[in-house]
Amino acid sequence: MYSWYKRNQIAATPWLFLIPALIMFAMYVIYPILQSFNLSLYKWDGLGDAEYVGLANYEKLLLRDRAFEISMWNNAKWLAFYLLAIPGGLFIALFLNQTVRGIRLYKSLFFFPFVISQIVVGLVFTWFYDPTFGLFNAIIGVVGLGPVNVLGDPQLATYGIIAAGLWPQTAYCMILYLTGLNAVDPEQIEAARLDGAKGMRMLWHVILPQLRPATFIAFVVTIIGALRSFDLISIMTNGGPFGSTRVLSFYMFEKSLSEYGFKMGYGAAIAVVLFLLMLIFIGYFLWRMYQDEKGGH
Amino acid sequence: MFPAPIEKASRGARITYQTMLPFVLVLWLAPLIAVALFSVRPAADFTAGNYWGLPSSWEFIANYGQVFTSSMPRYILNSFMITIPTVIGAVALSAMAGFALGVYRFRGNLILFFLFIAGNFVPFQILMIPVRDLTLDMGLYNTKTGLVLFHVAFQTGFCTLFMRNFIRALPFDLIEAARVEGIAEWRIFWFVVLPLMKPALAALAVLIFTFIWNDYFWAVVLTQGEAAQPVTAGITSFNAQFRAMYHLMSAGSIIAALPPVAMFFLMQKHFIAGLTLGAVK
Q: Which of B77, B43, B29, B25 is nearest to B251 (CA)?
A: B43
Distance (Å) from the C-alpha of residue A154 to the closest C-alpha of chain B? 23
What pLDDT, on the 0 to 100 scale, is given for residue B280?
Answer: 42
CB within 8 Å of A222: residues ≥ 6 apart? A82, A83, A85, A86, A169, A173
Residue A18 in contact with partner chain B when CB distance is under 8 A = yes
- Using alpha carbons only, give the angle B241, B247, B253 rounded to the nearest 5 degrees: 70
**Chain B residue with minimum CA distance to A214:** B280
A230 reaches B (C-beta below 8 A): yes
Cα distance between residue A181 and residue A166, in whole Å:
21
Q: Closest Cα to residue B133, out of B2, B259, B215, B221?
A: B221
Q: Does B267 touch chain A (CB under 8 A)?
A: no
CA distances from B16 to B1, B4, B11 (A): 20, 15, 9
- What number is the average pLDDT over the span B52-77? 87
The pLDDT value given to residue B195: 92
Q: Please give the C-alpha separations between residue B217 and each of A77, A123, A233, A245, B120, in angstroms, as whole numbers.
A: 21, 16, 11, 17, 16
CB contact at 8 A, A220 and A212:
no
pLDDT mean over B234-245: 84
Q: Are B46 and B95 in the same domain?
A: no
Q: Please tell me what DSSP assigns to residue B190.
A: I
Give dist(CA B46, CA B130) in Å, integer.
Answer: 45
Cα gap B38→B15, rounded to integer Å:
33
Same domain, B149 and B96: yes
Q: Are residues B27 and B147 in the same domain?
A: no
Which residues of chain B lie closer than 8 angstroms to A24, CB-CB? 93, 149, 152-153, 156
Q: For position A21, what pLDDT does the model report? A: 94
* Dist CA A221 CA B121 (whole Å): 9
B51 and B86 share one domain: no
Look up the domain containing B176 and give its range: 68-275
Q: Does B238 touch chain A (CB under 8 A)?
A: no
Residue B281 lies in a domain: no
The answer for residues whose C-beta is within 8 angstroms of residue A283's C-beta and 6 or more apart is none
The distance in angstroms from the start CA to the end CA of chain A is 35
CA dist list (Å): B219 to B150, B154, B223: 11, 14, 6
- What's the pLDDT score for residue A296? 57
> Of B61, B80, B101, which residue sits at a domain end?
B61
Decide: A149 and B66 in contact? Cβ < 8 Å: no
In the stretch 57-86 of chain B, residues with CB closer than 8 A to chain A read: none
Compute the distance between CA of residue A22 and CA of residue A35 in angstroms, rounded to an integer: 18
Contact B275/A176, CB-based, under 8 Å?
Answer: yes
What average pLDDT score do residues B130-143 get?
A: 92
Backbone dihedral angles phi then psi of residue A213, each to the nearest 5 degrees: -60, -40
**B35 and B137 within one domain:** no
Question: Is position B108 within any domain?
Answer: yes
Of the residues B61, B82, B98, which one is the last residue of a structural domain?
A: B61
Residues in B closer than 8 angstroms to A138, CB to CB, are 51-52
Give pLDDT, residue B169: 86
Size of interface A-B (CB pairs under 8 A): 276
User: Which contiguous run of DSSP H or E holds residue A52?
Assistant: strand A51-52
DSSP letters of B97-139? HHHHHHH---TTHHHHHHHHHHHHHS-GGGGHHHHHHHHHHTT
B77–chain A nearest CA distance, Å: 17
Are B157 and A25 in contact (CB < 8 Å)? yes
* Beta-ladder partners of A51: A43
Domain A65-296 fold is MetI-like fold (1.10.3720)
Choose, out of A97, A98, A175, A266, the residue to mutate when testing the contact with B (most B CBs < 10 Å). Answer: A98
End-to-end CA distance of chain B: 16
H-state helical runs in chain B: 11-28, 30-38, 43-47, 60-69, 72-103, 109-121, 128-137, 144-168, 172-180, 185-187, 194-196, 198-213, 217-222, 231-241, 246-266, 268-275
Range 121-180 of B in CB contact (< 8 A) with A: 121-131, 134, 149-150, 152-154, 156-157, 160
Q: B186 CB near a chain A CB, below 8 Å?
A: yes
- Work out the burial of residue B125: count CB atoms within 10 Å of its CB; fewer than 13 is exposed, 13-18 middle, 19 or more buried: buried
pLDDT of amino acid B277: 61
At B256, which CATH number?
1.10.3720.10
**Residue ranges of chain A whose pLDDT lies below 70:** 1-2, 259-260, 295-297
CA distance B273 to chain A (A): 9
Claim to verify: residue B90 and residue B112 sit in the same structural domain: yes
Which of B61, B79, B107 is the last residue in one of the domains? Answer: B61
Domain count, chain B: 2
* Domain boundary assignment for chain A: 65-296
% of chain B surpassing 90 pLDDT: 40
> Both B264 and B130 in a single domain?
yes
Q: Which of A37, A101, A116 best probes binding to B when mutated, by most B CB atoms within 10 angstroms?
A: A116
pLDDT band at B281 (very low <50, low <70, confident <90, very high): very low
B213 touches chain A (CB under 8 A): yes
